[in-house]
Each structure stands twice: as structure tokens, then as C-alpha cells.
């Protein structure tokens, strides 16, 4: 059996986890920085880097203690090496390098997006390559064909906002708290999705890309008009977002060739209306629909450790001078899409 220590520090979550090659999460800890960033209404990179630096070492120690293990029993050390906020990424990667050097264990530099993309295989042993992955969160909005470890085809991306960002911004217009996605979903249950005419940006276009900025602006205009209830706006927004998502994913399914499953990951995968719409789409294509548990969908270190396991099993590791990368596309051949504003 092999055991990999995973470290995640690319945004505002400091996390460590120990994962085995037979898919057991022996221990995992996540320290969120919400309190530090709340006064600024968003993640402040300098504050994030400092908080990671203060917390990471004790967090790794505590994770090892939770599993009743020492570092000597670990087979490899995997850390997010990008993409993300570079200060935080460096904290995690430098820590991993120091541990790898001190213990003479292999270092595995993991692409954070690969962590997300492979996490469904940690949760579900039956999920085989290739599969079509919809990665939707506050920072990610991509449709990926996952062919193997390190082998991705990016079929679609957003040309402006990520889907979770659109939920959060629309929720803000409606005076709901941050993060707004869950609150907006609750309010939508009380509204009529047919009441407010809203656009479906890029619906029907040939390439399966996304755009949500126009939808968000239309929500603002609907609110300012004073003609609609907040619940009707919320329900209409959510339906417009789902219509876009389904149309774009259907397009991707038509383009990607045979796949074993339709998979969704990322914080937005918590949305029940979105889940059931995707499940119906998968069923109409006779495909299984897989959504990992939410704890694996949002940023975490178990997914980084698991990506490490998959690479370790293939005999892959990285030199100790491997560089942190603020930008690191999964599919280097994907064309830049005009206006792409995808955060890591």
C-alpha cells in the first residue's frame, strides 16, 4: 500500500491530507481564512500567503497525528504547484520540498485543476477514463475531457465570469450574503422561473464555451426595474444559468467522442437543481452521472494527495527545483478564448 501526503495552499484554504492508493482518506484538515479576508470582501493575496505560512506546518503535524503516523511512513509528498495565488502556492510547494528533502521521499508537483479533475476517481473506484468533466465553482468554469493523468482536452471555458461568480454576484444584487450561491438557490425555490425574461448567453453557439457577465447585468436591471419579486428574479436567474449549462454540456458531449460518464465537480455542484438537470442530460445520453461528495468538490488537500497517488503509481515525480506556476492550463493546446477571465 502507498500513502501520499497532499498539501493545498493555492487560494484561501490551507489544507493537508493523507490518502492511500486504495482510496482511503486516513486524515485531512482544512483551515479556512474567511475571517481574515471578510473585511476586504474578497481574498487578499498577501494576507492569504501569510496565513498559509503561519498555519501549514502545524496543520501537517496535526494531520499526521490524526492518522497516528509519522512522515517516515509516507511514500511521497504532493503539493499544489499552481495555478493560483503565487504567494500561497510557494508556501505549500516550498514546505513540500523541505519535507521531501529532509525525508528523502519523492516530491510530486500537482496542478490544482488536475486535483479537481481526478477527485471523482477518489470517490468512485468504478470511474474509468475517459470522462467528461464539468468543473464549476467560484473560480473555475470549464468543460474538460479527462483522458488520463496529465491528459486533458479543454472543450469549453468561460469568456468572462465563472458560474459560481455569477451566482455570487446575482445574490449580492438581491441583498443575499456571501457566498451567495446557496442562499440564491433557497430563494429560487419560492419564485417563478418564467416571470423574468433573462438572456441565455452563447446558447446554441458551436464551441461549448460559457459567458455569464450579460446574465448578471440583466439580473441587476431586473432588480432596478422594481417590477419583479426577488424570488422570481432568483428562480429566473437559476433557470437561465441551468439552460446555458445544459446547452453547453450537450454541445460538449456531441464533440468529445465516447466517454464513460458525465461528472461534475466544484462548489456549484452543490446546487440541487443543477445536479438534477445534469443527471437528466446524462440519462438522455445513457451515461452514468457522477458528482463527488461536496467535501471533495470544494478546495481540499485529499484531491491533491489523490492526484499524487495516481502520479506516484505511474512512477512520476518532480525535481526539487520544480517551479511554482501562477498560470498552468491543463490543456496547453487549448486556444485562448477572447475575454477569458478564469481564475484558478
Binding site for ligand KG4 (CB under 6 A): 137-139, 164, 167-168, 179-182, 185, 266-268, 270-271, 298-299
Q: What is the dihedral of CA 334, 291, 279, 212, to 10 degrees?
A: -50
> Which is it for strands 25-32 and 13-20: parallel, antiparallel or unpaired?
antiparallel
Nearest alpha-carbon partner for 115 in 143, 91, 79, 87? 79
Answer with the entry of Zn ion, ligand KG4, none that 114 interacts with (C-beta below 5 to 8 A by kind): none
Least distance from ligand KG4 to the Cβ atom of residue 68, Å:
29
The 258-297 site mask, x for binding Zn ion (CB under 5 A), equals: ----------------------------------------
Coil, strand, or helix at residue 98? helix
Answer with the entry of ligand KG4, Zn ion, none that 328 interacts with (C-beta below 5 to 8 A by kind): none
Nearest alpha-carbon partner for 292 in 108, 90, 137, 73? 137
Place of cell 525535481: 319
Residue nearest to ligand KG4 (CB): 267
- Cβ proximity to Zn ion: between 107 and 296 the closer is 296
Answer with the entry of ligand KG4, Zn ion, none that 167 interacts with (C-beta below 5 to 8 A by kind): ligand KG4
Query: Concatenated DSSP letters for 111-173?
Result: EHHHHHHHHHHHH-TT--S-EEEEEESSS-EEEEEEEETTEEEEEEEBSS--HHHHHHHHHHH
Least distance from ligand KG4 to the Cβ atom of residue 143, Å:
16
Least distance from Zn ion to the Cβ atom of residue 299, Å:
4
Is residue 299 at the binding interface for Zn ion, with CB under 5 A as the rule? Answer: yes
- Cβ proximity to ligand KG4: between 270 and 334 the closer is 270
- Cβ proximity to ligand KG4: between 77 and 281 the closer is 281
Nearest alpha-carbon partner for 236 in 270, 174, 206, 191? 191
| Rounded alpha-carbon distances, angstroms, from residue 203 to 269, 306, 309, 315, 339 | 20, 35, 38, 43, 17
- Cβ proximity to ligand KG4: between 18 and 135 the closer is 135
Q: How many CB atoms lie within 10 A of CB 286?
A: 6
Distance of CA 326 to the CA centre of its chain: 16
> Which is it for strands 131-136 and 262-265: parallel, antiparallel or unpaired?
parallel
Least distance from ligand KG4 to the Cβ atom of residue 264, Å:
11
Least distance from Zn ion to the Cβ atom of residue 128, Å:
24
Answer with the entry of Zn ion, ligand KG4, none that 268 interacts with (C-beta below 5 to 8 A by kind): ligand KG4
Q: What whole-number distance in Å separates Cα of residue 195 and Cα of residue 201? A: 18
- Cβ proximity to ligand KG4: between 77 and 171 the closer is 171
- Cβ proximity to ligand KG4: between 75 and 243 the closer is 243
- Cβ proximity to Zn ion: between 201 and 267 the closer is 267
Q: What whole-number distance in Å separates Cα of residue 121 and Cα of residue 83? A: 21
Least distance from ligand KG4 to the Cβ atom of residue 125, Å:
23
- Cβ proximity to Zn ion: between 247 and 299 the closer is 299
E strand map for the chain: 3-8, 13-20, 25-32, 76-82, 107-111, 131-136, 141-148, 151-157, 262-265, 289-290
Least distance from Zn ion to the Cβ atom of residue 116, Å:
6
Is residue 185 at the binding interface for Zn ion, with CB under 5 A as the rule? Answer: no
Answer with the entry of Zn ion, ligand KG4, none that 185 interacts with (C-beta below 5 to 8 A by kind): ligand KG4
Least distance from ligand KG4 to the Cβ atom of residue 267, Å:
2
Residues in contact with Zn ion by the rule CB under 5 A = 299
Amino acid at each position: 500500500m502507498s500513502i501520499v501526503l497532499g498539501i493545498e495552499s493555492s487560494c484561501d484554504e490551507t489544507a493537508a491530507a493523507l490518502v492511500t492508493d486504495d482510496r482511503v482518506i486516513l486524515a485531512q484538515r482544512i483551515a479556512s481564512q474567511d475571517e481574515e479576508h471578510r473585511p476586504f470582501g474578497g481574498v487578499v493575496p498577501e494576507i492569504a500567503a501569510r496565513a498559509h505560512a503561519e498555519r501549514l506546518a502545524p496543520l501537517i503535524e496535526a494531520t499526521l497525528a490524526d492518522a497516528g503516523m509519522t512522515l517516515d511512513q509516507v511514500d511521497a509528498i504532493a503539493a499544489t504547484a499552481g495555478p493560483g495565488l503565487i504567494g500561497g502556492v510557494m508556501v505549500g510547494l516550498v514546505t513540500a520540498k523541505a519535507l521531501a528533502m529532509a525525508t528523502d521521499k519523492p516530491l510530486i508537483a500537482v496542478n490544482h485543476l488536475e486535483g479537481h479533475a481526478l477527485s471523482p476517481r477518489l470517490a468512485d473506484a468504478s470511474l474509468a477514463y475517459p470522462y467528461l468533466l464539468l468543473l464549476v465553482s467560484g473560480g473555475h468554469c470549464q468543460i474538460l475531457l479527462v483522458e488520463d493523468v496529465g491528459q486533458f482536452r479543454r472543450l469549453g471555458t468561460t469568456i468572462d465570469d465563472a458560474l459560481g461568480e455569477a451566482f455570487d454576484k446575482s445574490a449580492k444584487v438581491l441583498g443575499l450574503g456571501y457566498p451567495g450561491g446557496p442562499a440564491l438557490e433557497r430563494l429560487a425555490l419560492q419564485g417563478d422561473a418564467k416571470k423574468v425574461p433573462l438572456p441565455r448567453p452563447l446558447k446554441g453557439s458551436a464551441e461549448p464555451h460559457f459567458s455569464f457577465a450579460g446574465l448578471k447585468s440583466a439580473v441587476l436591471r431586473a432588480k432596478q426595474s422594481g417590477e419583479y419579486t426577488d424570488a422570481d428574479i432568483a428562480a429566473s436567474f437559476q433557470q437561465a444559468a441551468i439552460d446555458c449549462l445544459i446547452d453547453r454540456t450537450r454541445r460538449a458531449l456531441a464533440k468529445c467522442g465516447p466517454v464513460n460518464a458525465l461528472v461534475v465537480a466544484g462548489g456549484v455542484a452543490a446546487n440541487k437543481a443543477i445536479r438534477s438537470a445534469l443527471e437528466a442530460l446524462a440519462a438522455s445520453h445513457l451515461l452514468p452521472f457522477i458528482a463527488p461528495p461536496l467535501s471533495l468538490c470544494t478546495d481540499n488537500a485529499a484531491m491533491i494527495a489523490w492526484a499524487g497517488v495516481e502520479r506516484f503509481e505511474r512512477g512520476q515525480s518532480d525535481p526539487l527545483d520544480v517551479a511554482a506556476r501562477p498560470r498552468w492550463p491543463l490543456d496547453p493546446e487549448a486556444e485562448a478564448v477572447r475575454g477569458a477571465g478564469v481564475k484558478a
